[in-house]
A and B are shown apart, each in its own frame.
Chain A
Amino acid sequence: MKTDQIDIVELQDELEKLHSASFGWALSCCRRDHAEAEEVLQTVYLKILEGKARYRGESSLKTWLFAVIRKTAIGEYRKRLVRSLVFLGSSERHDTGVSPADAPTTLLEKSELQKQFRVALAKLPARQREALHLVFYEDLSLSEAANVMGISVGSARQHYERGKKHLREWLSHTETENGIVWRRKETPSAV
């Protein structure tokens, strides 16, 4: 699918299909900040509409879109950081500390393990979190994940393995703490 051939309506349809996954990825890039993720996604759409982000068909549309989201999220984060440094104390955002994702209704739906998992995920280094998210959450291959992250496949694999190791440690720790017994399969990793 070439960009030149894609008109805006066609692109809009494709983006709509990927919207949910894009939002999930934006959430991951924005450290699970719902409002920031929405703003990033809106900025990405604006970039596409203005032609600042142009799909050239060098990779799949999903990979390209995710790379744009990641780049935009990093840019927005830097801007926020600068703003927070400039206007120390007078934050623009009225952060209530509870994102829409953490609203009471959704909080009820979350299991204790899920909450702990989110915390553990947030503690991971960004690259490891990104690699794990792209592989487990977005079902991308390691080469596609590497493409999105703008790194080599080898580096992506390293981040993925390290992240997985951290989460494994967290899992075993949680299991012993909570007395959860998982049925282990001794199948070696095939990734």
Chain B
Amino acid sequence: MELSGEEKKLQALFSELKAADEQTTPHFGATWNRAQIAPRRVRIFNPAFVAAALLLVFGVVAFAVWSRHSRTATSPQPVIATAPQNPGSTAGAEAPPAPTSETPLPQPKTAVVLSRNKTTGQRNVMLSAANRKLQKDAKSIASWTSPTSALLESPSDEIFSSLPELNQSATQLKSFLPSRSN
């Protein structure tokens, strides 16, 4: 490599630097021996390991948060199947059979379907509280009567709202048939 004038100057400066460094260079044997007797360092704080661990922890936390959110978003609402409404409000021949005086007041039938098991007691408590509220609401709706329902009442209501029973005699059953004029 042929050097120009300035390069030669630089070369000279580097050579001077090298000569100065050589004077302060530690002895090879000393450095080599120190390296040989140096304790083998056990790397506890391995950056790669720490990064991997952090990433894993982050992943687990993210998954936990995501699963919690998705559960609340898709958690099934309590399905409420209510019994037939108060018979008084629906008067008519095609109305469903009215409960007799012996039959108890139809209770709202609640069927709470939960697709997943609850993981925490807190969620269970909250759900049961919600169910209790729903039952209460259903009861109040079932016992509601229209303020004008009294106007619809007539003496023949009993006939319309009652059905012949199987253990009645034939003559009694005939009373339900329309009378023939021929």
Interface residues of A (CB under 8 A from B): 12, 15-16, 19-20, 23-24, 27, 34, 38, 41-43, 45-46, 49-50, 100-101, 106, 109-111, 113-114, 117-118, 121, 132-133, 136-137, 141, 164, 167-168, 171, 182-191
Let me know if A46 and B17 touch, CB within 8 A. no
Query: Is the contact region of chain A dominated by helix, strand, or loop, or is it mixed?
Result: helix
B25 within 8 A of A: yes
Let me know if B28 and A24 touch, CB within 8 A. no
Q: Tell which of B2, B16, B36 touches A114, judged by Cβ atoms closer than 8 Å.
A: B16
Instruction: Give 7 closest A-B pairs by Cβ, nearest first.
Output: A185-B5, A45-B35, A190-B2, A136-B14, A19-B28, A46-B35, A187-B4
Given contacts A23-B26, A34-B24, contact A190 B3 (CB under 8 A): yes
Give Cα A164 to B3, complex, Å: 12
Give Cα A24 to B38, complex, Å: 22
Interface residues of B (CB under 8 A from A): 1-11, 13-14, 16-18, 20-26, 28, 31-32, 34-36, 38, 40
The total number of A-B Cβ pairs within 8 Å is 102
Q: Chain B residues near A188: list those with CB within 8 A.
A: 4
Q: Chain A residues near B31: list those with CB within 8 A.
A: 19, 38, 41-42, 45
Give Cα A167 to B34, complex, Å: 38
Let me know if B38 and A46 touch, CB within 8 A. yes
Chain B's closest residue to A38 (CB) is B26
Given contacts A110-B20, A114-B17, A117-B17, contact A183 B5 (CB under 8 A): yes
Let me know if B3 and A132 touch, CB within 8 A. no
Given contacts A19-B25, A136-B14, contact A187 B38 (CB under 8 A): no
Given contacts A23-B26, A45-B32, A111-B16, contact A189 B38 (CB under 8 A): no
Let me know if B10 and A167 touch, CB within 8 A. yes
Q: Chain A residues near B26: list those with CB within 8 A.
A: 23, 38, 41
Q: Chain A residues near B40: list those with CB within 8 A.
A: 50
Let me know if A100 and B1 touch, CB within 8 A. no
Q: Tell which of A100, A133, A171, A186 touches B24, judged by Cβ atoms closer than 8 Å.
A: A100
